[in-house]
Amino acid sequence: MLKLALANLTHRKIRSALSVLAVAIAITLLLVLVGLSRGTLNEVSNRMQSVQAEIIVRDKHFDLGSMSGGKLWEKEIADIVRIQIDDTPAVEHVMAVFLDRMKLAGLSQNVFGVHPEDFAFFAGSRRLIKGEIFSDVDSPSAALALAEAKSNRKIILDSASTTSEPLNYLPLIIDQRLAAASQLAVGDPVSYGDSPAKIVAVVETGVAGRVFAPINMLRGANGVAAQTAHMFFVKANPSLNTDQLQKLCEQIHSNIRRDATLVANYGQVIAENFRNLTIFMNLVSVIALVICFLFILVTIYTIVLERGKEIAILQSLGASRLRVLGQTVQESLIICSTGTVLGIILTFVVRYLIETLQPLMTIEVRISWILIAVLVGIGGGILSALYPGYIALSHDPVEALSFE
């Protein structure tokens, strides 16, 4: 009797369409809220894992949330490079990162200050779509001197450049997503605090930072004369196995008294750092789930309650209770499954919109949550039809038949 269910739904097209939409919105709400609360942190962790390195070193006071706090000294790199595990040199390369924040097109972004020659490790397989890698001055003090010179309206020399071209701005590489969202292209001038900066290249999305700058110039721009850094990325000898990598972490910790974490565990570290946030996210997920469920319940409840007369007619024709319930469930399932599918599609649309308009945000749509959404949609559809169906059945069919 699918035909009857479909006929009932097409009989009141707008009403049915609105019900489908209501379910779809509930499902979208669920997936977007959950995806948003989980996505942004996971995306950061994924980007960290894109770096061609196995270990992240940071000071224990460094705060992952604000990306600030305790600092490292670049000279500590020598102590790390020296480490041997099982009599073989364990470290291939160490990259220093100086972090800062800046506003680009109204969006607050972390800026990764890196040595130009390290950029390839950050980019990995990702290409520069446009522009070229920046160069840097030799030291932060040189950068400071240049900044001073600039404020005296003298020309800043890009001392690393062979052509000695004047460079009176901070060169930035941004990722594609930020470029798209902020509508910035190579050559566009931007400002870094009060100083001028310029986009010199756009890199494919997925790199650790959305914004890269030459480390010494970034230090200089921050008034830092010393060779400090916030993070080291350690590229280990490729022959090391997981146990040896773990050993390397311990060794780094005992040698220089810094926290060393496997990049692979970074997600976990973030989660621990944001314990309250994680609890909040789980709470949001549960609330979204409940709201979604209630939404479906109310939508279907009102539809089925309206079916009192139809239910009575079916009973007068000799339909068993089970059959009548099956009929209401069928109708509800058509609405809920259509709504669920629409909701999932809508989620991807919303994700596209949010990530385009707000590149800092990431909505992670996981298969597991899609499955949960489908279960909520279908389960909500069945339960919310059963209850009012049962109520309608417990009413006197004779009464329903006598009403107009």
Partner 1 sequence: MSDLLIKTEKLCKTFHHDGIKTPVLFDVDMQVRQGEFVAVMGPSGCGKSTLMHILGLMLSPSGGDIIIDGCSAADLNEAGRAKLRREKIGFVFQRFNLLPTVSGYDNIAVAERIRGNTVDGQVDNALAAVDMTEKARFKPGRLSIGQQQRIAIARAIVHRPRIVMADEPTGNLDSTNAETILELFRQIHREQGITIFLITHSLTAAQYADRIIYMADGRIQDIG
Short-list 279, 359, 205, CA closest to 37? 279
Nearer CB in complex with partner 1: 83/333: 333
- Residue 289: CB atoms within 10 Å: 19
Contact pattern from residue 11 through residue 30 relative to partner 1, giving x for each residue in contact according to CB under 8 A and a dash for the rest: x-------------------
Contact 239, 9 (CB under 8 A): no
Nearer CB in complex with ligand ADP: 101/395: 395
Strands 170-175 and 195-203: parallel
Q: Quote the tokens at residue 275.
A: 């314990």
Contact 325, 73 (CB under 8 A): no
Q: Which of 160, 313, 378, 391 binds partner 1 (CB under 8 A)?
A: 313
d(CA 392, CA 308): 6
Contact pattern from residue 317 through residue 336 relative to partner 1, giving x for each residue in contact according to CB under 8 A and a dash for the rest: xxxxx-x-------------
Q: Rounded to the nearest whole angstrom, what is the least distance from the CB of residue 384 to partner 1 in the complex?
A: 20
Stretch that binds partner 1, among 3-11, 223-231, 236-244, 297-305 (CB under 8 A): 3-11
d(CA 202, CA 343): 34
Query: What does the binding site for ligand ADP look like in residue numbers (CB under 6 A)?
Result: 396, 399
Nearer CB in complex with ligand ADP: 148/399: 399
Nearer CB in complex with ligand ADP: 6/313: 313
Contact 164, 158 (CB under 8 A): yes
398 lies in the binding site for partner 1 (CB under 8 A): yes
Q: Rounded to the nearest whole angstrom, what is the least distance from the CB of residue 396 to ligand ADP in the complex?
A: 6
d(CA 262, CA 235): 11
309-324: burial string, b at 16+ Cβ within 10 Å, e else: bbbbebbeeebeeeeb
110 lies in the binding site for partner 1 (CB under 8 A): no
Stretch that binds partner 1, among 61-69, 89-97, 159-167, 394-402 (CB under 8 A): 394-402
d(CA 37, CA 383): 28
Q: Which of 86, 194, 243, 404 binds partner 1 (CB under 8 A)?
A: 404
Nearer CB in complex with partner 1: 181/312: 312
Q: Rounded to the nearest whole angstrom, what is the least distance from the CB of residue 399 to ligand ADP in the complex?
A: 6
Q: Could you say which of ligand ADP, partner 1, none residue 310 binds, taking C-beta under 5 to 8 angstroms by partner kind?
A: partner 1
Total chain residues near partner 1 (CB under 8 A): 26
Residue with tokens 């706090």: 69
Cα four-point dihedral sign 197, 200, 204, 206: negative
Q: Rounded to the nearest whole angstrom, what is the least distance from the CB of residue 337 to partner 1 in the complex?
A: 20
User: Can you name the residues that pair with 236 across neighbouring β-strands?
Assistant: 91
Contact 234, 260 (CB under 8 A): yes
Which 3 state secondary structure label does DSSP give 338? helix
Nearer CB in complex with partner 1: 317/367: 317
Nearer CB in complex with partner 1: 16/227: 16
Q: Which residue is nearest to ligand ADP (CB)?
A: 399
**Which residues fall within 8 angstroms of residue 208, CB to CB, at 6 or more apart?**
47, 48, 50, 51, 112, 122
Q: Could you say which of partner 1, ligand ADP, none residue 284 binds, taking C-beta under 5 to 8 angstroms by partner kind?
A: none
Q: Rounded to the nearest whole angstrom, what is the least distance from the CB of residue 281 to partner 1 in the complex?
A: 44
Nearer CB in complex with ligand ADP: 125/403: 403
Distances (CA, A) of 252 to 62, 75, 98, 367: 16, 14, 19, 38
Residue 317, Ramachandran bin (φ over 0: left; ψ between -120 and 50: alpha; else beta): alpha
Q: Which of 4, 286, 345, 357 binds partner 1 (CB under 8 A)?
A: 4
Q: Quote the tokens at residue 28.
A: 């979208």
Contact 59, 72 (CB under 8 A): yes
Stretch that binds partner 1, among 29-37, 184-192, 239-247, 390-398 (CB under 8 A): 390-398
Contact pattern from residue 271 through residue 310 relative to partner 1, giving x for each residue in contact according to CB under 8 A and a dash for the rest: --------------------------------------xx
Q: Could you list the residues that contact partner 1 (CB under 8 A)?
A: 1, 3-4, 7-8, 10-11, 309-310, 312-321, 323, 396-398, 401-402, 404
